[in-house]
Amino acid sequence: MSSIAPEQVITSPRLRPQETNTFVIFGASGDLTRRKLIPALYNLAVAKLLPEGFHVVGIAVTPMKDESFREEMCQAVKESKEATAFNEEVWRDFALGMHYITAEFDAPEGYEKLHALLSEIETEHENPDNRLFYLAIPPSFCGTVISRLGQHGFVSPQAHRGKGWTRIIVEKPFGRDLASAQKLNAEIHTVFDEEQIYRIDHYLGKETVQNLMAFRFANSIIEPIWNRRYVDHVQITAAETLGVEHRGRYYEEAGCLRDMFQNHLLQLLAIIAMDPPVRYGGSSVRDRKSDVLRAVIPINPENLGEMAVRGQYGAGIVDGHRLPSYRDEEGVNPKSNVETFVALKLFVDNWRWAEVPFYIRSGKRLHTKVTEIVIQFKRVPHMFFQLSSEDQMEPNLLIIRIAPDEGISLKFGAKVPGPAMRLRPVQMNFSYAETFQVQPATAYETLLLDAMEGDPTLFNRSDAVEHAWELLEPLIDIWAATKPFHPFPNYASGSWGPTTSDLLLERDGRAWRNPPASPLQSRVGVEPSGIVP
């Protein structure tokens, strides 16, 4: 059942797009469409943010008719934890605009059917030929679909706008290395202009990630201390309690570096470290983010152990359940050296951040599901209080929680009530749920609406994608060609990763912030048997 009650539905200050469009999903029978795209579009329909005359056309190889497609998606919305409470009337109106075409992605007849259907929709409803294509398909099919769209006349260059517009949304992974990313960019650019391409990263649509820019640039007390003079270091953590589940074969090809760092985490780094843009708009914001990625110092292979750590989870007991090691998961090589955990120490070599380390980690089967950014500020230059052993003085921390409890916390020192001057850390906390009394929009709602309105601010540009690959590809190549220094598996399910990850910070006199599990994520026990630290 849907998890969001009717009274939690957001009353959005956004207006619905003035221009309608037809939303064409390649791969409409897949998991992404069921779990994310259709529930997000339904939520926009509930919030009255879809334009009048909006239509969805699904294309996939799975045989279906319009009515069976609507029934499948209706069930997906009812089962979704991200969809608002099911409203029969809203769904009925929304589903009337849903269509389905059964076709192979390289078959000309499929594109002929699409041409006929789009012409029918645009003529019958007097809609302009605004078309938003979404590639919810494996990367191996992207070049084929893009080429066919060009060959069959679906795309008008941005510089030659007619009565309508054409845009395309491309899902990650955007290539698997620099060469493939450049090849895919070249293939897309033969058909689409860069201004028409929306490379989606759902992390950038999260409410807290967007609020990070507002927090930094809309508050005069924050920006003056957001630099090397006051910041000791930055931590970015994206931890998952789940393993690879049914994605073993995919993960064997990807690994943690490709799956999380090349896109999500380097984008978070760019937003944290970027200089103020001239305005909040596509080119200005994305220019500043690209500046950061260009300024990241490449990892030196000669001191790789001091800058990068990899790990792979082993068996463990979590919440009383015995969990398998990565090598025992379905679709995984029993001798696999693919990393399920990565920790990096990076530096941004510019005026604002020189010599400030950015520690970034991500992994599966970790202790707690959490995504957060921690800004640790430098200690005061002189502590004149006469502190006793009972006093607790910790550095000031700014904690930006992206998931699961979106919000911002500030930890600082305060006096304990009483006649003596005793100090201890206290925390101020801002929670989205408590402050605004609303359920934040899902990332896909925000991003799909931005694409309909032609706002590319939260989407990746080709240069940023290639900069990220340039940074990580040498590390990917080294790890692919060498065995781990500590034999895999090297951390237990339910732990915080390999001990070498802790050493990455301990060598600098620092430590990871390991947030406790929420009540729903309590850990009964961890069994590290057979794990080499």
For 141, phi then psi, to 5°, come to: -95, -10
Q: Are residues 137 and 265 in the same domain?
A: no
The C-alpha angle 108, 110, 114, rounded to 5 degrees, equals: 120
Q: Of 264, 367, 467, 486, which is the active-site residue?
A: 264
CATH code of the domain covering residue 114: 3.40.50.720
All residue ranges of the chain with pLDDT < 70 are 1-14, 157-163, 282, 382-392, 517-533
- Give the long-range contacts of residues 230-233, CB within 8 A, separation 24 or more: 230/377, 230/378, 231/356, 231/375, 231/376, 231/377, 231/378, 232/356, 232/376, 232/377, 232/378, 232/379, 232/395, 232/510, 233/356, 233/357, 233/358, 233/359, 233/376, 233/508, 233/510
To the query of whether residue 264 is one of the catalytic residues in this protein, the response is yes
Q: Are residues 217 and 104 in the same domain?
A: no
Structure tokens belonging to residue 41? 């579009």
Query: CA 523 to CA 287: how far, in whole Å?
Result: 43
CATH code of the domain covering residue 257: 3.30.360.10
Is 484 contained in some domain?
A: yes
Q: What digits encode the pLDDT tens for the residues 332-374?
A: 999 999 999 999 999 999 999 999 999 999 999 999 999 999 9
Rg (CA), the chain: 25
Q: What digits encode the pLDDT tens for the residues 207-225?
A: 878 888 888 998 999 999 9
Q: Are residues 64 and 81 in the same domain?
A: yes
Q: Are residues 353 and 502 in the same domain?
A: yes
Q: What is the pLDDT of residue 82?
A: 87
Q: What is the pLDDT of residue 75?
A: 96
Query: CA 509 to CA 501: how far, in whole Å?
Result: 13
Range of the domain at 376: 206-439+461-521
Query: CA 506 to CA 503: how far, in whole Å?
Result: 5
Q: How many domains does the chain have?
A: 2
Q: What is the pLDDT of residue 14?
A: 64
Alpha-helix residue ranges (DSSP H) falling in 198-298? 207-217, 248-256, 266-273, 282-295
Is 145 contained in some domain?
A: yes
Q: What is the pLDDT of residue 450?
A: 93
Q: Are strands 370-377 and 397-403 parallel, antiparallel or unpaired?
A: antiparallel
Q: What is the pLDDT of residue 8?
A: 41
Percentages of the chain per state (helix, strand, coil), in multiples of 5: 40, 20, 40
Q: What is the pLDDT of residue 1?
A: 39
Confirm if 501 and 343 have CB atoms less than 8 A apart. Answer: yes
Query: CA 446 to CA 454: how far, in whole Å?
Result: 12
